[in-house]
Structure 1
């Protein structure tokens, strides 16, 4: 290409890598040669030359498929813009050999960095392993457990508090909560934010109306049936994610309970499912896609710049979106 364009190899390299230090006329000549011969740069060759793979990893153990799809979409947006690719690795945190499995995955793929989502992002041993093998990482977290440069922090407690205040303002005093798994810190953040806001409005949730789900549709339906089959059933249910809220909808349908006339239901996440349900679900909007993009942007920036300088913390604040599933208690 250098011979055909009558320039140096270094100039061709600069044009291919979109360096600004090339005259427009020279760039046009080189681009024409590239187009004529159909040259496509090899990322593998480029990676070998500079000891980089241009690969990020997404490591997760999360039962909520929609959450993973959304965060993956955000990561891919950043990767495509910056010339990186994404390798996805599902795993089981409680499985024997979990840490060894992750180490093998990272080293075999020669990853430049990884992104961790809950609950893996809360695993201190996993983070220690990544540090030990020199793999950069970003963590999506509901509580600050790391340096600001390594986290995207989402303040779930704030969003859940808005739900508590909303239900109290609607006049509900018989309120139930379906939490997520106890091993998730987000579960505790959402619970404390919700119950704290209700308490400020003089509403107390009895222990028998605080039940654990697994962030899945099936557990939402099961817990919904248990709560709504009681003689003095609650008039409002906060399900700690949209999948479980959808399960509550099914339980209410099976029992002949009308939403929102007889029951108010609120979810968390604001996945696409929420606005498509009938009636449309009130829920806390957590910008999961944006969180993935922000994490990947920060991680790629650290890879390219060698972790130079101090970066500002990335904090995402969820907010309640009120839709048709919210009804006043009369």
Structure 2
């Protein structure tokens, strides 16, 4: 059994007002001088009748979909990313916008959501390719961030500071035979390589040396890799993230290696796991909730033609020193 959709015309008949007046109220049309009592009566009757706005028609009339599209890299949805997305979604919802995410996959056949949703803003966690940018603009999307296919916009937020802080902390602790430990997850290969490169540049600038070794590990390789590092005189590990750092810590403790006396370990992301480990994990904290709010503010400034938000403490990495260093 089908139920007829309640329209603005139905509301207008019920309250005995013109369709135009009711439309102004329901669409919250600016520049209209409608008495508050009339507005209240219209909204109350619309609620009683079960009126729901035709969002497609509203979007067509206003030129806005009130959708923010966030294009995600093909990364695992870990603690940091979930926190980031939750906060961005909440902040946008409070402003009357919906956050929609999509993840393009290599060889994927799905039609890009920027063609079907016509979002007001497209945001990317990484620079878009020139081809993607051309497709987005051809679809009529005016507000895109980053607006170019380079890393300048993302790097200006200070996201690269984490690997630098990891290396500088270990050097300050007197460690010289330092290794970098990455993840074997193929989805993270680009991000692992980026953090490794940033950390290596800091190490070389400070000491003139490179990493004693680098390697990507998982549960099956952690024990063997840690033993080899110790045999080679390694005294510190820069881990890609806290999960990798936890694997190394577990392998070291099982092998009877004293942490941090014989081997110092510093992670990245400051997940809840970091503070629960014994010994607790030194790591780098990034305010993912703050970054989510910053992302939302960036989108809202674009749709409202306002100045972009000023990057504050939420975009800065901070070292958290605990027991593994």
TM-score, normalised on structure 2? 0.74
User: 1:324 is matched with which residue?
Assistant: 323
User: 1:246 is matched with which residue?
Assistant: 246
1:25 offset after TM fit, Å? 4.0
Farther-moved stretch of structure 1 (232-241 vs 285-294) = 285-294
CA shift in 2, pair 1:253/1:18, >3 Å: farther
- In 2, are the aligned partners of 1:140 and 1:295 still within 8 Å (CA)? no
2:312 matches 1:311: no
Q: Which runs of 5+ in 2 are unaligned?
A: 1-10
Q: Secondary structure at the match of 1:183?
A: helix
- In 2, are the aligned partners of 1:221 and 1:251 still within 8 Å (CA)? no
User: 2:214 is matched with which residue?
Assistant: 210
User: 2:120 is matched with which residue?
Assistant: 112
Alpha-carbon distance in structure 2 between the residues aligned to 1:87 and 1:219: 32
User: 2:295 is matched with which residue?
Assistant: 295
Alignment of 1:58-137 (within 5 A): 58-66=70-78, 67-92=80-105, 95-96=106-107, 101=109, 104-118=112-126, 121=127, 123-135=129-141, 136-137=143-144
Higher RCO (CA-CA < 8 Å; seq separation 6+): 1
Q: Secondary structure at the match of 2:152?
A: coil
Aligned-residue RMSD, C-alpha:
3.6
1:256 offset after TM fit, Å? 3.4
Q: Which runs of 5+ in 1 are unaligned?
A: none
1:238 offset after TM fit, Å? 0.9
CA shift in 2, pair 1:57/1:155, >3 Å: same
Give 1 or 2 for the bigger CA radius of gyration. 2
User: 2:69 is matched with which residue?
Assistant: 57
State the Cα deviation string for residues 231-265 of structure 1 (Å, max 9, x = none). 13422211122232233233324433343344221
Alpha-carbon distance in structure 2 between the residues aligned to 1:49 and 1:210: 56
1:117 offset after TM fit, Å? 1.8
The one of 164, 167, 171 aligned to 1:168:
171
State the Cα deviation string for residues 84-122 of structure 1 (Å, max 9, x = none). 333332332xx34x5xx475432133333332223xx35
Paired residues, what number?
A: 303
